[in-house]
Amino acid sequence: MNLKQFLLIAIISLSIGMNTTASTINRQETPPNIIIFFSDDAGYADFSMHGHTKIKTPHIDQISQNGATFTNAYVSGPVCSPSRAGLLTGRYQQRFGHECNIGENYSKTDPELIGLPVKEKTIAELLQKEGYHTGIIGKWHLGEKTQFHPCNRGFDDFFGMLDGSSAYHPGQAKELMRNFAPADYTGLPYLTDAFGDEACRFIKKNKDAPFFLYLSFNAPHTPMHARPDYLNDAKKLFKTEQRAVNAAMTRSLDENIGKVMAYLKKLDLEKNTLVIFTNDNGGAMPYNASCNDPFSGTKGTFLEGGIHVPFLMQWKGVIPAGMQYNKPVISLDILPTALALSGGQLPNDRIYDGVNLIPFLLGQKTEAPHEALYWRLLHHGAIRKGEWKMIWFDDKAPKLYNLKEDIGEKSNISKQHPEILKELLNQYNGWQKELEDPIWRTNPIWKKHSRDRYDQDFVNTLRKE
């Protein structure tokens, strides 16, 4: 056993505590593999683990049953690219100017700057230094210039698209790349299936050494393309074709997560792999016919429907099966958790906002992982502290909610609790002073778009059944 393996065993022993069995410790002579399953624009309600009776997601449900379900989990952004920037860096993306989405850019920013700033270290870069082989499959959406390319940001292998979306139907995914070259897309199957197949190839190739796989599915993001056989089945269950397409796309997502999980088991890697499943933001009503119940709001807002996401973590034999963790966590926690298990340390030249969640899951730490959580996207933002949540706007009074009593954020109680509102507003403004100006800004029309979605009566008109 070398020094690094010895230190890793010591770290995990301390994290797990005195009840750890010898067999568990012996198994950890090498760091665990790490897989992140990341879905795109999925509605919180659109998983059977959350009680949906028509959309079945048995393979995702199984991850929940085998590990921990975080009931108060968030992402750091309400739209795609900022959320990914936070996930991959473990830092609030507003700290380094990646506040706005990447798409149509209407600022005068130099196009060479539109992407995850090169000064930021990604989870892939940090794990590479610990001996991991790193791969991303699927959606990148963190810059299309060469300096932002995944293979220049710590990933050894890339198969997917640099931008935010792609056609799904066989032979139509023209945007795909393999590392730095255009991929041969003409013979590929349905895109979600292609990503699942590629993930299995990556695992087979790297099964004998620690690997990190970021499987960044674009389903069920638009365009709304479903497998015809799955769509035919779903049409029998829903009133509208849009909702049936969403269900069929979610079925493909679940099936391919199941494909990867089965392959891990086949190669006897399941017990030495940390598996995480989460989603990039709330459901994008009405564009993909998603549903965010029991929350208000949609993608693009800081209501729970925009940022409260499914979050599961499985590590067999370490994380207790079937446990629920109820204190607030955020996607920024993934990087520190993974790096701690690799035996690495966070760089000390910058602030990290995420924390290692393993000690909290195993009872070694009983306090809340975060004293408060924060969000901002130009003209609006939020803070959650305990059961209290304030939503901030740049041009009107903030709103206050008690999430313990009102998870649907139906009652603004700012007038009833002015002292709490003042405390949260002061703390939020203090956090804003730590942030950099956005490197680029998106079109002001998105302000009205998101503000409309703070009106739940309007949101209810977008529902598809």
Give the residue numbers marked as catalytic.
Answer: 80, 141
Nearest to 346 by CA among 123, 39, 58: 123
**Which secondary structure element, helix H or strand E, spans residue 216, and what is its range?**
strand 211-216
Question: Where are the alpha helices (H) located in 206-240, listed in sequence order?
Answer: 228-235
Instruction: Residue 130: count other Cβ atoms within 10 Å of its Cβ.
Output: 18
DSSP β-bridge partners for residue 133: 211
Structure tokens at 400: 């206050």
Farthest CA pair distance, the chain: 62
Give the SS3 label for residue 68: strand
Pairing of strands 380-385, 373-377: antiparallel
Strand partners, 12: none
Cβ–Cβ < 8 Å for 229, 205 = no
Q: How far is CA 289 from the centre of its chain?
A: 20
Phi and psi dihedrals of 62, rounded to 5? -65, -35
Query: Which of 371, 368, 57 lies closest to 220, judged by CA?
Result: 57
What is the rounded distance in angstroms from the CA atom of residue 111 to the CA atom of residue 105? 9
| Amino acid at the residue 220 | P
From the list 227, 245, 228, the residue with the least C-alpha distance to 237 is 245
- Rounded Cα distance between 232 and 124, Å, is 39
Distance CA 351, CA 388 (A): 25
